[in-house]
Structures are given as structure tokens and as C-alpha cells.
Chains A and B, each alone.
Chain A
Amino acid sequence: MEQLVQKLKEEIITVLNLSEMKPENIDEKAPLFIDGLGLDSIDALELTVLLEKKYGLKINTPEEGKKVLYSVNSLAQFIRENNKG
């Protein structure tokens, strides 16, 4: 899980072009949106694409999206529970 969290932090920095951010600056428990990293709706879409492209996972409902995209930890948990690869 720890490895996945670290990998996710690196992927988030890359796909969201957070060039001024380092993995250690991202609190895996903090909300990704509004507070925390201050991400926006385009970033949410980009994270959804990341889940599908890299992990073959789809978010099916807005409610699930809110839950899954809440933090790095929730993303990691979703991947761990659903990734068959």
C-alpha cells in the first residue's frame, strides 16, 4: 500500500503538472480538492483518465468519484480493492 501511495503521488504530480510539488509535500490523507492540493474539475477528469489508462479502472457514478478522488489514500484503496492486474 505504501509503495502504491508513493507511486500515485508521483503520477499525480506528472499528470497534473504540479511542477513545484514533490511527493513528500503531498499528504496522503488530505483532501485533494479545494483544500489540500487545491485541484479543480479538470484535474478530477485527469485523475479519472489516469485510473482508466494506468489501472484499467472506471469510476461509475459521481458519488463514487467523490469518495475515490477524496485523497491519495482513497485512490490507493480503490485501486487495491479493484485492480485485477
Chain B
Amino acid sequence: MNDQLVISGFCTLRQHRVVHNGKLLFEDPGSNTVEFLTAAYNHFRISYPKFHKMDQLAKLGFLTTEILLKDTDINSRYKADRIGIILANSSSSLESDRNHQKTIASRDNYFPSPSVFVYTLPNVVIGEICIKNKINGEGNFFVMERFDPLFFANYLPQLFNNDIVDCSITGWTEVNGNDYESVIFLIEKKKHTDGGIANFTVSEIESVYIRK
């Protein structure tokens, strides 16, 4: 049965700003990626020591999801294996790949760091979000040239209509040097919400994505 999907919440972290459901919650002008992520973590009083061990991509996706899910009670409304996490970006895990490469660049100083190496896959961010939120549903990380609303609008309904998920944390989380951008949506069936913020269509996804 095809149920209409809606965006029931969204959170955006980019250009030194945290925006939740269209509302500016935090701003840290002039900060670089690392400084911004740490400042946001402190601002939202998130207490999760493992955050500091994550690479920038995992920190970005984790923080965006923490802010997005606050007060959503999805864990009580959906079973853990019915909540999916579908993310995408264009640089994959390039930041951690570069950092790992630095540790193995010299034959005389060849000390690959295990804690850097474990983040040399982009889907590790999904694992971090799953561990924190006790989610174990469908998880996929796609690498694509740019944020593609059409891809999400086509892919997500397949997961819902094939009875794989009842809810999905879905979106874009990208880090490349001091460029970072995370736009993550909470997608649910319309009948399970109060109508949501917008329908999960190409034009609405695009509209929410570009919203400042």
C-alpha cells in the first residue's frame, strides 16, 4: 500500500549555523569545521564522550541527528528495526582518508592510527547514529556528485512501500576541509504524524534543502 510520506522534521548544519525546522538555534561565525562542531556540541549540552573520538563526518551527522531527533520520541513510536538511516554525500570519507594517508606516507614513520583508520568509510556515521539511538533498521550511505532530491524521492518510498521501514532519518552530510553541510530529514508516513512540515516530494525536498 502506498502511503504518502512527509518530512516531519529537518535539521541543517552549514555555514556556521544550526537550523532546526526552519528556526535558527545556534550560530558561531568565523569558526572552522572542527571549532563549529565542538561549539555546537557544547551549546546543545550533548553528553556523549565518544563524540570527541569521531571524525568530522561522523560528528556532523551525529550532531545533526541529535538535534533533529530531540523530542521526537521515534524510539517509542517505532521499533528499532523499523527505523532506517539513509544518508549521502559527495566526498565520501575523504577527510579521514587524507588523515590516514598522512600516517602511512613515510616508510620511516609508518604508524597507521587505528582510530583514524576506522573512519575511512562514510557509512561509519550511520553506525554512530545507530549506536547512540539504539536503531538497527535499514542503513545505506550513497556517494553522489551533489544533493539529489530526485534520488531521495524515488528511493525512500521503495523502502516504505516494500515494508522495510516505518520511519527514516534521511539526507545529506558532507565534509571536505572547511566546507561542511548537513541537511537531514525525518521521514514518516503522513498517517503517523500531524501532517508534517512538507510532503516528501522532489520540489518540497529541494525547497527545504535550500532554505536558509
Residue positions of A touching B, CB distance < 8 A: 15-21, 42-43, 45-46, 49, 52-53
Contact = CB atoms under 8 A, between A and B. Distances in A.
Interface in B96-142: 111-115, 118
Given A16-B53, A20-B49, A42-B114, 4 more contacts: A19-B49, A19-B52, A43-B115, A49-B112
B115 A42 contact: yes
A23 to B, nearest CB: 16
Nearest to B116: A46
Interface size class of B (residues with CB under 8 A): under 10
25 contacts: A16-B53, A16-B115, A17-B53, A17-B115, A18-B49, A18-B52, A19-B49, A19-B52, A20-B49, A20-B52, A21-B49, A42-B115, A42-B118, A43-B115, A45-B114, A45-B115, A46-B113, A46-B114, A46-B115, A49-B111, A49-B112, A49-B113, A49-B114, A52-B111, A53-B111
Contacts of A16: 53, 115
Nearest to A50: B111
Nearest to A21: B49
A42 B112 CA distance: 12
A45 B52 CA distance: 17
Chain A interface, DSSP helix/strand/loop, else mixed: helix
Contacts of A15: 115
A2 B114 CA distance: 28
B84 to A, nearest CB: 26
Contacts of A49: 111-114
A-B complex: 6 closest residue pairs judged by Cβ atoms: A45-B114, A19-B52, A17-B52, A17-B53, A53-B111, A42-B114
A18 B113 CA distance: 16
Interface in B46-68: 49, 52-53
A37 B53 CA distance: 14
Nearest to B48: A20
Contacts of B53: 16-17
Give the interface centre of A15, A17, A18 by most chain B CB atoms within 10 Å.
Answer: A17
A42 B49 CA distance: 15
A33 B53 CA distance: 16
Interface in B24-51: 49
